[in-house]
Structure 1
Amino acid sequence: MVVRENFDEQLDDLKSQLVHLGKLANTAVERSIRALNNQDIELALQIIDDDYKINVLEEEINETATWLIAKEQPLATDLRKLITTLKITTDIERIGDLAVNIAKSVIRIGEKQLMIPVDRIPEMVDITQQMIEKSLLAYYEEDIHKAKEVADTDDHVDQMYGSLIKELLEYMTQNPQHISQVTQLAFICRYLERIADHTTNISEGIIYLVKGKRFDLNQ
């Protein structure tokens, strides 16, 4: 009984660590867009430097989960919890990487005046961050209803991405002298769309955790 209690405590600790990892990644996304809005090169550089915190915690979570699988040889639900933890941790780490990619685009844009309004990009960010927050809550509560809501929201992000890319391409065609800046803004939109996709992957992991079945929610 004591062994089981210790194992349950370790699973709970792992869950809390993963949620903390997700919050770190979400904060990195928020800071990257703040750096874009303010054309804050120093903040962008800080985001890149701070990425190691996400990488270190991801490695710690993966090592603990792998160790528990090998040591405890868990069955059924507990094994799914650990497998899901490994998968979700990877998606969260990728979200952190994409925040770094946004920061790098901010640096490439530099302090030159933005020639095209970017007010719709923060709107896309708001929706994406809400997806991340809801997916983390769904994971913590093992709530498949919330997980499916996240996946449904991804369709809206895809539509926003398509609309923004169309605007940027039209502007680029009419103003080829600004092709470099517009290209970086297009990359940023793509990175945000990919963040939403990884968040949907997290939702898939939650459904697998609860139902024991895999679903492709990105279709």
Structure 2
Amino acid sequence: MRNRLDEQLELLNTELIRMGALCEDGISQAAKVLVTRDEALRRAVDETEQEIDRKEREIEAICLRLLLQQQPVAKDLRLISAAMKMIADMERIGDQASDIAEMVEHIRAEVLPGSLHIAEMARAAVNMVTNSVDSFVRRDMDIARAVEKADDEVDALFNKVKSEIIALIAEKPEEGETCLDLLMVAKYFERIGDHAVNIAEWVVFSLTGEHD
């Protein structure tokens, strides 16, 4: 019985890694769309978001089988419940990457050079998602805690973007609507960072039984 449970838990790990990789792809694709404004790449973001949704359903099914067909002990139960919480955050990451890609068509190309810190936010967000999932797979609380600290960097970058956009609106008030769209894109990246923190916090719960 325990061997079967361990096999299912290993499958859960594998599928979480795959879902995390899809989230990384979605964020990276969305950031590239912001720069290239490539329509085919924008559609690719939507396809990635749909794959993330399918993976969420697959992992939910694995978790339910573990709960109904196996006899997980307390530590296993924490791990399974944490995984179910994590995939909800990953699904939202996919949604927000898709939202970013959709907003690009409303942003005038000439405003984009001022979005340097948005590109940095995107890279930081990808790293946070990668590390949050890695902390779960490795059962490494130090990595999870590092993700929580990395959120400060994303928040600081968001504040820089806000300052840049305020200055741009003052300089070119006719670009106000476009600048607000750009600010919303930055906000989505900030939210992605928040979801990565949530994932890391559920990793800590799976290891300690305590949730921040």
State the TM-score, normalizing by the size of structure 2: 0.95
Give the number of equivalent residue pairs.
Answer: 212
How far is 1:21 from its partner?
0.1
Equivalent in 146, 163, 168 of residue 165 of structure 2 = 168
Could you tell me which amino acid in structure 1 is paired with residue 45 of structure 2? I
Deviations 1:6-36 (CA, angstroms, capped at 9, x unpaired)? 1110111011101110110111100111111
How far is 1:99 from its partner?
0.4
Deviations 1:52-109 (CA, angstroms, capped at 9, x unpaired)? 1110110110122022212224220010111011001111111111100110111222
Given the alignment of the two structures, is residue 180 of structure 1 paired with residue 177 of structure 2, yes or no? yes
Given the alignment of the two structures, is residue 132 of structure 1 paired with residue 160 of structure 2, yes or no? no
SS of alignment partner, residue 67 of structure 1: helix
Q: How does 1:1-219 map to 2 (within 5 A)?
A: 3-109=1-107, 112-114=109-111, 116-215=113-212
Could you tell me which amino acid in structure 2 is paired with residue 188 of structure 1? V
SS of alignment partner, residue 118 of structure 1: helix
Q: Conserved in 2, the CA contact under 8 Å of 1:41 and 1:107?
A: no
Q: Which runs of 5+ in 2 are unaligned?
A: none
Structure 1 runs (4+) greater than 3 angstroms displaced:
none
Q: Which runs of 5+ in 1 are unaligned?
A: none
Q: Conserved in 2, the CA contact under 8 Å of 1:65 and 1:82?
A: yes
Could you tell me which amino acid in structure 2 is paired with residue 93 of structure 1? E
State the TM-score, normalizing by the size of structure 1: 0.92
Q: Conserved in 1, the CA contact under 8 Å of 2:29 and 2:44?
A: no
Percent same amino acid among aligned pairs? 28
CA distance in 2, matches of 1:159, 1:125: 13
Q: Conserved in 1, the CA contact under 8 Å of 2:120 and 2:157?
A: no
CA distance in 1, matches of 2:33, 2:147: 26
More helix by share: 2
CA distance in 2, matches of 1:183, 1:104: 14
RMSD between aligned alpha carbons? 1.4
How far is 1:172 from its partner?
1.6
